[in-house]
């Protein structure tokens, strides 16, 4: 949700993204474009004039033209099951070959594959789609889900399926030094002021970024501005070291960055967290950054203070691939 140039992410992440372990476990067809592309974490692209043995190359899932009764669908096993709050069904670059309608169902099972007895719940009723568009839905169902089923009527292509929600972290982190800003461990984005080219949650992802789209990147600022993101750590800890990775960002990395941090022991709204974050203590002073590099810093400021929220400021704008905050848990 965007308000007054602030994007409130509210701790929601894309549960469908492949880097969390999500997998397409069944599809009726993928003649023109592989179903697995629909859960790639980076934005879809268009390749002008590129064709493969099946036809025009498309960055998404696309089925053949249906000549029989019925409709196409795929089933996605969520790598990190959770509670679904919002869904984005993206038909970017699909024009003339997008589905006429879509719907989305979800279920919770212990096995890998649903069967005929699976109790599917409709969380998005059959709805019309538009070409080259984002279709955003708020989900009111409060159940815990492990799988989703995307139905397209009767056939066609979808670029990306984003399933935003909160995952259920099964166990606490073991004692010792841990990455407190890992999405796998339960770290989530709270808010940022811009994510024009790359989503904020990308900087919490595991592994090395695959490209610039697999990082957080803001638009070019004009004037004396700076960009920021607020992150809730997976658990509270005493910070030992910090890593800022600008992998792939060469002509668009931030010139400098700083990090603020605090400990919050009660529940605050995202709005109040943003408001108070301006006064948080510095964890890392404003520091020069460089292109396509891992920057490692030893914490010398708040070494013995427990923190569970951080705010990263980048000057004046640009992109960061990953942020790792290593701290000792208790």
Query: Residue 153 has what pLDDT?
Result: 98
Query: Residue 279 has what pLDDT?
Result: 96
Query: Residue 273 has what pLDDT?
Result: 97
pLDDT along the chain (330 residues), means of 10: 79 94 97 97 93 94 96 96 96 98 96 89 98 97 94 98 87 80 94 95 94 94 90 95 97 97 92 96 97 94 90 97 93
Q: What domains lie within the chain, and their CATH numbers?
A: 11-167 (2.60.120.260), 176-329 (2.60.120.260)
Query: Residue 321 has what pLDDT?
Result: 98
- Render pLDDT for 252-283 as a digit per residue (tens, 0 to 9): 999 999 999 999 998 899 999 999 999 999 99
CA-based nearest residue to 59, from 81, 33, 79? 33
Whether 104 contacts 150, CB under 8 Å: yes
Query: Residue 148 has what pLDDT?
Result: 98
The DSSP-derived string for 89-157 is EE-TT-SSSS-SEEEEEEE--SSSS--TT---EEEEEEEE--TT-EEEEE-----EEEEEEEEEES--E
User: Long-range CB contacts (< 8 A, 24+ apart) of 112-117?
Assistant: 112/25, 112/77, 113/25, 113/26, 113/75, 114/75, 114/147, 114/149
Q: How many Å apart are CA 75 and CA 282, to the nearest integer?
A: 45
- Render pLDDT for 10-47 as a digit per residue (tens, 0 to 9): 999 999 999 999 999 999 999 999 999 999 998 999 99
Query: Residue 171 has what pLDDT?
Result: 62
């Amino acid at each position: 949700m965007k308000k007054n140039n602030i994007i409130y992410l509210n701790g929601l992440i894309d549960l469908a993204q492949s880097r969390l372990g999500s997998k397409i476990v069944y599809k009726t067809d993928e003649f023109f474009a592989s179903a697995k592309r629909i859960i790639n974490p980076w934005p879809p692209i268009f390749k002008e004039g590129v064709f493969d043995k099946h036809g025009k190359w498309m960055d998404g899932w696309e089925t053949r033209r249906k000549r029989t009764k019925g409709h196409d669908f795929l089933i996605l096993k969520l790598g990190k099951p959770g509670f679904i709050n919002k869904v984005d069904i993206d038909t970017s670059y699909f024009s003339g070959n997008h589905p006429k309608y879509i719907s989305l169902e979800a279920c919770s099972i212990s096995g890998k594959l649903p069967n005929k007895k699976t109790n599917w719940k409709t969380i998005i009723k059959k709805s019309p789609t538009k070409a080259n568009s984002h279709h955003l839905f708020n989900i009111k169902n409060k159940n815990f889900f492990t799988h989703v089923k995307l139905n397209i009527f009767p056939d066609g292509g979808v670029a990306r399926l984003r399933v935003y929600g909160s995952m259920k972290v099964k166990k606490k982190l073991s004692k010792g030094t841990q990455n407190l800003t890992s999405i796998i461990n339960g770290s989530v984005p709270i808010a940022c002021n811009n994510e024009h080219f790359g989503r904020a949650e990308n900087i919490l992802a595991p592994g090395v970024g695959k490209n610039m789209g697999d990082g957080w990147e803001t638009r070019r600022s004009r004037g004396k501005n700076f960009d920021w993101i607020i992150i809730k750590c997976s658990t509270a800890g005493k910070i030992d070291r910090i890593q800022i990775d600008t992998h792939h960002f060469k002509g668009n990395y931030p010139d400098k960055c700083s990090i603020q941090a605090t400990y919050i022991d009660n529940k605050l709204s995202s709005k109040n967290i943003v408001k108070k974050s301006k006064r948080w203590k510095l964890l890392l002073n404003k520091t020069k950054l460089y292109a396509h590099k891992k920057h490692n810093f030893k914490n010398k400021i708040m070494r013995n203070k427990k923190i569970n929220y951080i705010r990263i400021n980048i000057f004046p704008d640009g992109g960061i691939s990953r942020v790792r905050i290593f701290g000792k848990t208790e």
